[in-house]
Amino acid sequence: MSFHSMWAELLPIGRAADSGGYRRFAWTGADTDCRAWFRQQAETRGLALETDRNGNQWAWLGDPAAGNAVVTGSHLDSVPDGGAFDGPLGIVSAFAALDELRARDARFTRPLSIVNFGDEEGARFGLACVGSRLTAGQLTAEQAHRLADADGVTLPRAMEAAGYDPDALGPDPGRLDRIGAFVELHVEQGRALDLTGDRVGIASAIRPHGRWRFDFRGEANHAGTTRLADRRDPMLPYAETVLAARREAALADAVATFGRVRVEPGGVNAVPSLVSGWLDARAAGQGSLDAVVAGVEEAARDHARAHGVDLTVVRESFTPVVEFDHALRDELARILGRATELTVPVLGTGAGHDAGILSGRLPTAMLFVRNPTGVSHSPAESAAEDDCVAGVAALADVLEGLACT
């Protein structure tokens, strides 16, 4: 089955008719349909499908117990109204690269697996990379059990509704010990390759980033009869904090975003009692990230105090700086340089990935495919067909160089 037919089959799953964006959230019907698609791709290719204790799917060629496996893959879940490429491009390209290697009659000397990591975006439960963090022991089962979505549905209940056992969650060191290298192909979430004119690039590092929830608690009251001086309106310090985040990010050459806000009770004619805002902050280094978050929090406390509003700040997700394995990165550059006689650019990213989570546990690397506009986490996300085909060829070359004679 070619790249195009796989892509066409996956494309409609979880796509919202109104926005054209994707709503493939963990343990929902769309997630189930994506998993069924993954299972079908594995079975079509005679790969042994395994679902691990954390719900990640693994399609194996060869005996996993032999160890030193080469693994590739990514995720199929999305952010709210995300694009078609973020995640799926890595998995469709992995199956297409295997098809290419079989067409080349490549002889595998190491086990190969294609993986679908669950809940990478954290769109429903707020924490990024749940499937890979659990497997790597960076998230405990107890912490995962405490996660709940905006409707109060806990992760265990959501897993059970999808037919999975939440009591099985936990670290999987044996599985990771049997992996020699993980290479994730991903659409670039930026324009570096567009600016250099390259179809494919290699990742060097992931900048540190995290998510913080700011809860501003004021006093519900009548919008029409309450004097301004008598209000404890949480919306005001929230609004001032959003502007402060922009100022702090600009000062530190970082990025900070309040992309999600929840207002309770949400009446048009009522001063709210609670305004919760989620800050996503990312910076070139830990020091500047800490400075941005501290600056935003200080501003938020000052504004909350000025309005008689209480504030609590909770860090909900955090990923320290990731430096991808130098030897594997250089091996990819050697393989691709040999195949194309070109120097493949090496670039950093501000986007988190499962490859970043596993990087502390085993050699990981990433391939990026050019994104002509750099737009991502949006229905407008795109990649040219030729560049996707070049990505498949590059991944096939890398997998052949790592796992075949």
| Residue 215 identity (one-letter amino acid) | D
Nearer to ligand HGY, 277 or 352 (CB): 352
Nearer to ligand HGY, 171 or 208 (CB): 208
Number of Cβ within 10 Å of residue 316's Cβ equals 16
Backbone angles phi, psi at 299, to 5 degrees: -65, -40
Write the DSSP symbol of residue 293: H
Q: How far is the CB of 187 from Mn ion (least distance, A)?
A: 8
CA distance 341 to 69: 28
Q: Which residue is nearest to Mn ion (CB)?
A: 86
Using DSSP's 3-state secondary structure scheme, residue 116 falls into: strand
Using DSSP's 3-state secondary structure scheme, residue 23 falls into: coil
Nearer to Mn ion, 215 or 354 (CB): 354
Nearer to ligand HGY, 100 or 120 (CB): 120
For helices 385-403 and 326-340, angle between their N-to-C axes, nearest 10 degrees: 120
55 binds Mn ion (CB under 5 A): no
87 binds Mn ion (CB under 5 A): yes
Binds 352, which of ligand HGY, Mn ion, none (CB < 5 to 8 A, cut-off by type)? ligand HGY
Hey, which residues between 12 and 71 contact ligand HGY (CB under 6 A)? none
128 binds ligand HGY (CB under 6 A): yes
Q: How far is the CB of 284 from ligand HGY (least distance, A)?
A: 15
Q: How far is the CB of 221 from Mn ion (least distance, A)?
A: 39
Between 67 and 86, how does the x/- string for binding to Mn ion read (CB under 5 A)? -------------------x
- 303, 208 Cβ separation under 8 angstroms: no
366 binds ligand HGY (CB under 6 A): no
Q: How far is the CB of 352 from ligand HGY (least distance, A)?
A: 4
CA distance 179 to 363: 9
121 binds ligand HGY (CB under 6 A): yes
Nearer to Mn ion, 57 or 241 (CB): 57
Q: What does each C-alpha distance from 125 to 146, 151, 199, 249, 335 come to in angstroms? A: 10, 10, 34, 26, 39
Binds 83, which of Mn ion, ligand HGY, none (CB < 5 to 8 A, cut-off by type)? none
C-alpha closest to that of 26 among 114, 154, 169: 154
CA distance 318 to 283: 12
Nearer to Mn ion, 130 or 311 (CB): 130
C-alpha closest to that of 328 among 363, 289, 367, 354: 363
Region near ligand HGY per CB under 6 A, out of 120-128, 214-222, 242-250, 339-347? 120-128
Binds 64, which of ligand HGY, Mn ion, none (CB < 5 to 8 A, cut-off by type)? none
Nearer to Mn ion, 86 or 387 (CB): 86
- 295, 316 Cβ separation under 8 angstroms: no
Helix (H) or strand (E) segment spanning residue 34: helix 29-44
Nearer to ligand HGY, 351 or 392 (CB): 351
CA distance 138 to 179: 17
Hey, which residues between 166 and 185 contact ligand HGY (CB under 6 A)? none
Binds 198, which of Mn ion, ligand HGY, none (CB < 5 to 8 A, cut-off by type)? none
Binds 55, which of ligand HGY, Mn ion, none (CB < 5 to 8 A, cut-off by type)? none
Give the interface size with Mn ion as a residue count (CB under 5 A): 2
Using DSSP's 3-state secondary structure scheme, residue 203 falls into: strand
CA distance 377 to 215: 25
| C-alpha of 15 from chain center | 18
Binds 88, which of Mn ion, ligand HGY, none (CB < 5 to 8 A, cut-off by type)? none
| Distant-in-sequence, close-in-space partners of 229: CB < 8 Å, separation ≥ 6 | none
Q: What does the radius of gyration of the chain's CA atoms come to, in whole angstroms?
A: 22
Give the interface size with ligand HGY as a residue count (CB under 6 A): 5
Number of Cβ within 10 Å of residue 279's Cβ equals 25
Q: Which of 156, 352, 363, 391 binds ligand HGY (CB under 6 A)?
A: 352
Binds 87, which of ligand HGY, Mn ion, none (CB < 5 to 8 A, cut-off by type)? Mn ion
Nearer to ligand HGY, 329 or 377 (CB): 377
CA distance 54 to 327: 29
**Contact positions vs ligand HGY (CB under 6 A):** 120-121, 128, 351-352
**Contact positions vs Mn ion (CB under 5 A):** 86-87
